[in-house]
Chains A and B, each alone.
Chain A
Amino acid sequence: MIIAEPKPIQEVAEYIKEYHKVLVVGCGGCTSVCLSGGETEADILATSLRILRKKEGQKLETVVTTATRQCEPEFIDGLKELVDEAEAVISLGCGVGVQFLAERFQEKWVLPALNTILAGGTVQPGQWEERCGLCGDCQLHLTGGICPVIRCAKSIQNGPCGGSQNGVCEISTEMPCAWQLIYEKLTVLNRLDLMLAYRPAKDWSKERSGGPRKMKREDAAL
């Protein structure tokens, strides 16, 4: 899932300082699961913004709602009436959610309440880690399911660098060397031959450098 973290409340308050009625939209998708942008977080943000405004002796009206997923038009279409009544919209979705809302409601400022930071998962309650670099050319079948693109600090594709010491990366003693993990996993799988297999240079053209990427499925089109 996409992991996002809350922006400082003062920063969000600054975005909306000229408005008196805002719509706060939580997202029931990824940001809800990583406890940054769900129903509760939307309510906490709205209350916090009202408190800040009240401290200045002014009023802020907030309407709080949550879309099932902000990244799908069918789930945000239903917000139209609420959006129309608000002067601005604060999104607790990831960067995708903010943009989908901004595209759908062209005449409104849609402001982000979160910083979108990574594609990853929950390693333990309250802790999330990056697992995918979205490189567009998955090589996990060669590396025992451990991604060197995102888990190696240098994204090295062919074995560890000299900074790998005692199984950890030189950038932090808390960060395991991705290639050490790959080596250990391939040992368990009895597939160390994959370490020696010739691999052509990775095709980075599928990565982000070519502008926004698209995916199409004709059979899913209406």
Chain B
Amino acid sequence: MNNFKPKIIAFCCYYCAYAAADVAGSLRLQYAPEVRLIEMPCSGRVDPVVILKAFEEGADGVYVAGCMEGDCHFLKGNIQAKKRVEHLQKVIAELGIEPERLAMYNLSGAQGDRFAEIANQFTERIKKLGPSPIKEGEMYNDNS
């Protein structure tokens, strides 16, 4: 399990998390290389279907990173994103995927250190959980 390199997708709001990733880069902060960023115009623009499809396509963990509550560039996008993530956690639980594999974080564009911290913490969490249960199906196929 030590060799397990999870695939983690981070949907990052352009106004905060994505900018924070730039700050982290400028500060030469190391963060987990397993995290793949996808730039979004707002965390509220993350479509629930896309999150599910990320899991379908083999993501071991997915998180949405939006602005601090009250600071959304579009007023309530991050609040909407939080509700969607909470709803989707129930949906993936129904599908037999641990809800902890999906998370919502809030940070500001200046928090490069927090961005790195989130990336590392979430990656650690997914490493502890192991590969996504969806991959069990692939193992059946590999064995056959």
Q: What residues on B are CB-neighbors of A9 within 8 Å?
A: 91, 94-95
In the complex, per-residue mask of B124-144: 1 if CB is within 8 Å of any chain A CB, else 0: 000000000110111111001
Q: Is the CB of A47 within 8 A of B53?
A: yes
**Interface residue B25 (Cβ < 8 Å from any Cβ of A):** no
* CB closest chain-B residue, reference A43: B49
**Interface residue B70 (Cβ < 8 Å from any Cβ of A):** no
Q: Is the CB of B94 within 8 A of A57?
A: no
Q: What residues on B are CB-neighbors of A58 within 8 Å?
A: 137
In the complex, per-residue mask of B37-54: 1 if CB is within 8 Å of any chain A CB, else 0: 000000000011100110
What DSSP secondary structure best describes chain A's contact surface? helix
How far, in whole Å, are A217 and B96 apart by their CA atoms in the complex?
A: 51
Give the residue among A48, A53, A55 with the most B Cβ atoms within 10 A.
A55
Q: Is the CB of B48 within 8 A of A54?
A: no
Q: Is the CB of B49 within 8 A of A44?
A: yes
Q: Residues of A at under 8 Å CB distance from B?
A: 8-10, 40, 43-44, 47-48, 50-58
11 contacts between A and B (CB under 8 A): A9-B94, A40-B49, A47-B53, A48-B52, A51-B52, A54-B138, A55-B133, A55-B134, A55-B137, A56-B137, A56-B140
